[in-house]
Chain A
């Protein structure tokens, strides 16, 4: 039997109490325990970026974070990203630019892109590439993703 612990965590604005196995990672807790399957799991060792989400407004790998470590924290998954001001424009830009195909990388990609956009950083392609360097996309070749982030930032300024 796994050892367990009680946690209190705010997920997409809603505070919940849960009992979790201490060895369970945050991605599995959200997907299996909370039915929030928008967080994708690829490699489970921090490399692919598919499981990236926002914890206290910073991107983290949910496969490298234990659910117990999220005790007291505020988590935003892809299901809750819509509540943030830039998300609508970013999603529209992703659609316009064909910045997704299979969509596997997209939840993590959007979290990283939003962290960049919300920081107020400029529409600089090199800096955007660097910020998204930890998110793998096997479909798009990245150009369209960088285009979409630039478009969102430019729209924000105008």
Chain B
């Protein structure tokens, strides 16, 4: 199928983009990499009146350091994140997750901001944000705010972002010496959305975020508590996943997914560096 007709706008500044989103007479939707929005429009699952192409707003792209955090502009593409030495050095958990996201042609266009705005329950980057305890910068024509990862994900494809707000940047804490990270996902084919996956940080407290387990990425707080008490007790951490509220899906029932969650957690911890 083909996308329904819309008005196309390509603003060249953030303020222009925000002004279009602030006009609530018509439903406007930002277009980032289009790697999720275009399929949704082709299927007519999305049919915005106005499409606001963010590709012409240079302020939204780029990677820099600010006060112990790595700040990544919302329109920064996966391709550029994979090529970034700063990301490889200072946010190794994100660097470990990136090759698992889709395929090269998708990563040439797809953006970190688009992925977090969409918040697909099977996507890697929301779990990375949650495991790192980062935050998301939001801005509308009337103001700006920053939302912590723990408060950002609400439900299936639902986040703290309001329709008139743009994600402008994502803040991820910089890794310090001694911090360790692990990432593991189980997929049927390379590049597919995961059947289950987990992002793990010991920085120095443990944070464990699963994805493809429920409507949002989920922190395994009981398993974190076990490892905070004794980092070598991986069996007890896996047993503590019993309290995780896992939904079944087309990949398997909750019991099978809980089993896979344990497998993924062991392998992620085994591969930590």
Q: Which of A33-47 contact B (CB under 8 A)?
A: 44-46
B102→A134 contact, CB < 8 A: yes
Contact across chains for A58 and B79 when beta carbons are under 8 A apart: yes
Q: Are B103 and A49 in contact (CB under 8 A)?
A: yes
Asked if A69 meets B105 with Cβ closer than 8 Å, knowing A45-B39, A64-B35, A133-B190, the reply is no
Among B3-11, B60-68, B165-173, B247-255, the stretch that binds chain A is B3-11
**Complex CA distance for A58 and B33, rounded to whole angstroms:** 14
> Is residue B267 contacting chain A, with contact meaning CB distance below 8 A?
no
Contact A22 B6, CB 8 Å, known A69-B53, A133-B191 = yes
Question: In the complex, which of the residues B10, B39, B191 has the most CB atoms of chain A within 10 Å of its own CB atom?
Answer: B39
In the complex, number of A-B residue pairs with CB atoms less than 8 Å apart: 88
> Would you call A49 and B5 a contact (CB within 8 A)?
no
For the complex, what is the distance from the CA of A133 to the CA of B100, rounded to whole Å?
11
Interface size on A, residues (CB 8 A): 32
A-side contacts of B55, CB under 8 Å? 69
- Assuming the contacts A45-B42, A63-B42, asked whether A23 and B5 have C-beta atoms less than 8 A apart, the reply is yes
Interface residues of B (CB under 8 A from A): 1-8, 10, 34-35, 38-39, 42-43, 51, 53, 55, 79, 99, 102-106, 108-109, 189-191
Question: Which A positions have Cβ atoms within 8 angstroms of B?
Answer: 2-3, 5, 21-25, 28, 44-46, 49, 52, 58-61, 63-66, 68-69, 112, 115, 129-131, 133-135
